[in-house]
Amino acid sequence: MSGGDIAVRPATPEDLAAIMRFIRDLAAYERLTQDCVATEAQIGAALFGTPPRVHALIAQVEDQPVGLALWFHTFSTFTGRSSMYLEDLFVDPAFRGRGVARRLFVALGRRAVAEGCERLEWAVLDWNETALRFYRSLGAKPLDEWTLQRLTGPALAALAAG
């Protein structure tokens, strides 16, 4: 690769340390460090177990990993097709504004189309204006009529207990 070129490739087990760094850096950026409790073993099993539960792409400049896109498949009974849900997108701050995120999104879009996916979806924090502007530049539309719901911790345990 010539200097400054951005390459996007599937993650490998050798990328686990970089993936964990990206996940922790994303948690810090989103002010959610206290919620970031995943271990390298857990992420490795999810990415590289049989079957894999999530998938990841690494963006790199020369041999340096500089970005991560981590996703999984969902399914729509309305369309009868799968979709890709982007769980994490992170670019090292030193490499932002250089097209790394766009390259990751192009790779995701190509993969989604090749796999016959109906949608590519993700969540973004409402205060993250930089990300919101970037997503609008890609043509993404907010789903204002939908709200994300979550059960976790004691509420999830109570539900499971019946």
Residue type at position 64: Q
Catalytic site residue 29? no
Give the CA distances from residue 21 to residues 83, 90, 92, in Å, rounded to whole numbers and listed in that order: 27, 10, 10
Classify residue 94 by its DSSP letter. G
Active-site annotation holder among 56, 128, 135, 160: 135
Rounded to an integer, what distance in angstroms lies between the CA atom of residue 143 and that of residue 122?
A: 10
Tokens 């990206």 -> residue:
22
Q: Which residues are marked as active site?
A: 135
